[in-house]
Amino acid sequence: MSEATDTGPMLAADGRPLKQSLKRALRAQKLRALMLIAPLLLFVLITFIAPIADMLFRSVENQIVSQTLPRTAQALEDWDSTGGDMPPDDILAAFTYDLVAAAERKDHTRLGTRLNYEMTGISSLFRKTGRRVDDFGEIYRDQFVDLDPAWEKGETWVTLLGDPEWIDEYAAWKAAGGDNEAGAPLFRLKDGIAQVLPETSDAYAQFARIAQVENNDDPSGEEPWAPVYLALYRDLAQGGGIDVASLGLAESALVETTAKEVTRFEAVPLRSLYTDVEDDWADPEVWKTVKTFLPEYTPGYFLSAVDLQKTPDGISAKPENQQLYILLFERTLFMSLVIMGSCVLLGYPIAYLLSNLPMRTSNVLLILVLLPFWTSLLVRTSAWKVLLQQQGVINDVLVWAGIVADDARLVMINNQFGTIVAMTHILLPFMILPLYSVMKTIPPSYVRAAKSLGASNWTAFWRVYFPQSVPGIGAGCILVFILAIGYYITPELVGGTTGTFISNRIAYHISSSLNWGLAAALGTILLAVVLILYWLYDRLVGIDNVSLG
């Protein structure tokens, strides 16, 4: 103690305290190691981890409804869905403005497909209505135009609602020779107009922007679509509150005269426009479904993945005839267990033989295990397809040997049996190799000692040898099981309809039914199962002990 205080801290050659100097060297070493790892880590994060994260995100993501129907989303929030009726016209008007924009952008079919996952039939409802929604309000358009043909002209609308500054900018851009609307300044509303004509300005601004962006049109040359007239009618028919004085001089006159006439307009309830297209709109379930799936994130896909559904009244089981996934998960687990069991049964004797034969012989026999391991998965699957077919080799041999009649050939493919046989063959090396590496380390003297103490062959094996080989069985089982539950190719080719796994359903949803959210949810559940098993594997065997051949 006193010596240390006398001489101070020990110093390195450059005069720094040794401790500090060592710390610096350690830091440099850590940094160098990280620099070496960084490129690969970055690569894996971008090419692999990001996709997995994307999948997890998609399994709960549901922004399409609220993004495609922003006005409806707001309006439906306060709608009481317990009544057995269609929503009132206010909500339907908001829905009309949303739908006409979506139809113009061709988004309504995607939205319809999304909602169709939750309620069959919505997709065609949206598709049909999307084709006709730009006529909703036609009746008002005709009456406005009869009253004053100015309403037909795009210019009238632009001067009434457009920001004068925008009109100037736009004119200047036109004068400068701009003809591709993509570079044009986007339509802006006049200050304060949103208070005077709230629905009209909103609906028209949407029309003008879509005209510019989607169709490359100059708004002042285009007559708005019918729902804009619907909006104008609704604004004017409210009466009273219209402060025409705040509008420009010429426009205020037009609006004022029109407003007076509007009360005499022939009106038609919006709901009848919808039910004319398709009676199903009157079904409150449609609207309840829309309302239920408004939030940006939804557990809906996960619920579907376990045969539940989200309804306005809470979570309930799906109807019997639509239940599928629990069965598929059960089948996947059951078949993986069977495959794992057959791998143990077939792998154990081989591993035992290999580890007890002299090195030279066992190395030769090991090649018989490694050859299938190294052979292409598709080669092995095609081999089984060839062998198991009704006109295949095995059936031919059985018929030739007289075991099976020619007209009663065995059906061994496109069912669970085919999948189990082919996958046992494919995964068997993954059982043998870990078993072999464990059995090699069991000293033969233990069994000899047991026998010399009077144990029979069986007792010596069962009480002495077998317990020592259990870690190998555990490692092999988990490895085979992990690989089996995620298998896709083999069940797809030899599984038929009864021998398919959950992964085949995931692939189906990605490439055929295009229900990506459900595919992502099923994938997430499968991933969770695999990660738990893998965690177990790590506890039992350790990641670092994964050996390859």
Partner 1 sequence: MSQMDLPPYATLGQKVWHYAFFVICGLIFFFLIAPILVIIPLSFNAENFFTFTPGMLAFEADAYSLKHYRDFFTNPSWQQALANSVKIAPAATLISVSLGTLAAIGLSQDHVPFRRAIMAILISPMIVPLIISAAGMYFFYSRIGLQGTYLGVVLAHAALGIPFVIITVTATLVGFDRSLTRASASLGANPVTTFFKVQMPLILPGVISGGLFAFITSFDEVVVVLFVGSANQQTLPWQMFTGLREQISPTILAVATILVVISIALLTTVEILRRRSERLRGMSPG
Taking the C-alpha atoms of residue 119 and residue 195, their distance in angstroms, rounded to an integer, is: 38
> Which of 60, 61, 64 has the alpha carbon at shortest distance from 72?
64
- Considering CB under 8 A, how many residues would be counted as binding partner 1? 94
Taking the C-alpha atoms of residue 199 and residue 94, their distance in angstroms, rounded to an integer, is: 9
Q: Which stretch binds partner 1 (CB under 8 A): 251-259, 283-291, 333-341, 499-507?
A: 499-507
516 binds partner 1 (CB under 8 A): yes
Q: Where are the beta strands (DSSP E) in 265-381?
A: 308-311, 314-317
Tell me the torsion sign for CA atoms 156, 162, 163, 168: negative
Q: Which stretch binds partner 1 (CB under 8 A): 199-207, 221-229, 253-261, 424-432?
A: 424-432
- Min. distance of Cβ 196 from partner 1 in angstroms? 42
- Decide if 161 contacts 220 (C-beta within 8 A): no
Q: Which stretch binds partner 1 (CB under 8 A): 227-235, 290-298, 406-414, 487-495?
A: 487-495
Candidate residues 386, 408, 470, 532; the one interacting with partner 1 per rule CB under 8 A: 386
b/e code 526-543 from CB counts within 10 Å (16+ = b): beebbeebeeebeeebee
Beta carbon nearer to partner 1, 308 or 484: 484
Candidate residues 371, 408, 453, 540; the one interacting with partner 1 per rule CB under 8 A: 371
542 binds partner 1 (CB under 8 A): no
Candidate residues 457, 459, 498, 513; the one interacting with partner 1 per rule CB under 8 A: 457
- For 104-167, the DSSP string reads HTT-HHHHHHHHHTTSTTHHHHHHHHHHHGGGTTHHHHHHHHHH-GGGG-HHHHHHHHB-HHHH
Candidate residues 378, 449, 532, 540; the one interacting with partner 1 per rule CB under 8 A: 378
489 binds partner 1 (CB under 8 A): yes
485 binds partner 1 (CB under 8 A): yes
- Min. distance of Cβ 381 from partner 1 in angstroms? 7
Q: Which stretch binds partner 1 (CB under 8 A): 93-101, 184-192, 225-233, 482-490?
A: 482-490
> Which of 410, 342, 416, 418 has the alpha carbon at shortest distance from 383?
418
Candidate residues 267, 326, 357, 536; the one interacting with partner 1 per rule CB under 8 A: 357
Candidate residues 393, 408, 470, 540; the one interacting with partner 1 per rule CB under 8 A: 393
381 binds partner 1 (CB under 8 A): yes
433 binds partner 1 (CB under 8 A): no
Beta carbon nearer to partner 1, 150 or 510: 510
3-state helix, strand, coil in the chain (%, to 5): 70, 5, 25
382 binds partner 1 (CB under 8 A): yes
Candidate residues 60, 369, 438, 450; the one interacting with partner 1 per rule CB under 8 A: 369
512 binds partner 1 (CB under 8 A): no
Site residues (CB under 8 A) for partner 1, limited to 31-60:
32-37, 39-41, 43-45, 47-55, 58
404 binds partner 1 (CB under 8 A): no
503 binds partner 1 (CB under 8 A): yes
The number of residues in the chain equals 549
449 binds partner 1 (CB under 8 A): no
Give ∠ CA 116-117-123 in degrees, rounded to 5: 15
Candidate residues 358, 405, 454, 497; the one interacting with partner 1 per rule CB under 8 A: 358
520 binds partner 1 (CB under 8 A): yes
Candidate residues 4, 249, 403, 543; the one interacting with partner 1 per rule CB under 8 A: 543
- Decide if 207 contacts 231 (C-beta within 8 A): no
- Decide if 518 contacts 301 (C-beta within 8 A): yes
Where does residue 286 rank: exposed (0-12), middle (13-18), buried (19+ CB within 10 A)?
A: buried
Tokens of 440: 């090699």
- Min. distance of Cβ 321 from partner 1 in angstroms? 26
Beta carbon nearer to partner 1, 318 or 380: 380
Site residues (CB under 8 A) for partner 1, limited to 266-325:
none
377 binds partner 1 (CB under 8 A): yes
Phi-psi region of 502 (alpha: psi -120 to 50; beta: other; left: phi over 0): alpha
Beta carbon nearer to partner 1, 245 or 367: 367
Where does residue 408 rank: exposed (0-12), middle (13-18), buried (19+ CB within 10 A)?
A: exposed
Tokens of 536: 């177990």
Q: Helix, strand, or coil here: 461?
A: helix
Beta carbon nearer to partner 1, 232 or 340: 340
